[in-house]
């Protein structure tokens, strides 16, 4: 199973890199698959990796794609102080 998840991660990162290279880092700047110069394999993977709630590749209603330009490593991390509820 690890091999499959590694393949998904690799393809998702390749797609994300191409989207960032053409400047598709926001919904307003979303591009089509042709504008991002995806190859056949990447276009096939788009259906699988794009559009999910936690996916890094987002899909608009008009079949345009983008990826938010936040830093994935730090965007979801919170400190312990943020998690402590004060009464």
What local confidence, expressed as pLDDT, does residue 79 receive? Answer: 47
pTM across the whole model: 0.72
What local confidence, expressed as pLDDT, does residue 84 receive? Answer: 53
User: Which residues, given as ranges, of the chain have pLDDT below 70?
Assistant: 1-4, 70-87
* Per-residue pLDDT tens over the stretch 73-87: 444 444 444 545 555
What local confidence, expressed as pLDDT, does residue 2 receive? Answer: 57
Strands (E), 26-67: 58-59, 65-66
Within 10 A of 43 (CB to CB), how many other CB atoms are there?
13
Query: Which tokens go with 29?
Result: 């700047």
């Amino acid at each position: 199973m690890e091999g499959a998840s590694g393949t998904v991660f690799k393809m998702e990162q390749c797609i994300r890199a191409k989207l960032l290279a053409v400047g598709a880092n926001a919904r307003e700047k979303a591009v089509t698959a042709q504008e991002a110069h995806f190859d056949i394999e990447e276009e096939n993977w788009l259906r699988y990796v794009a559009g999910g709630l936690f996916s890094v590749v987002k899909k608009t209603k008009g079949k345009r794609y983008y990826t938010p330009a936040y830093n994935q490593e730090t965007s979801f991390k919170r400190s312990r102080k943020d998690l402590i509820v004060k009464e």
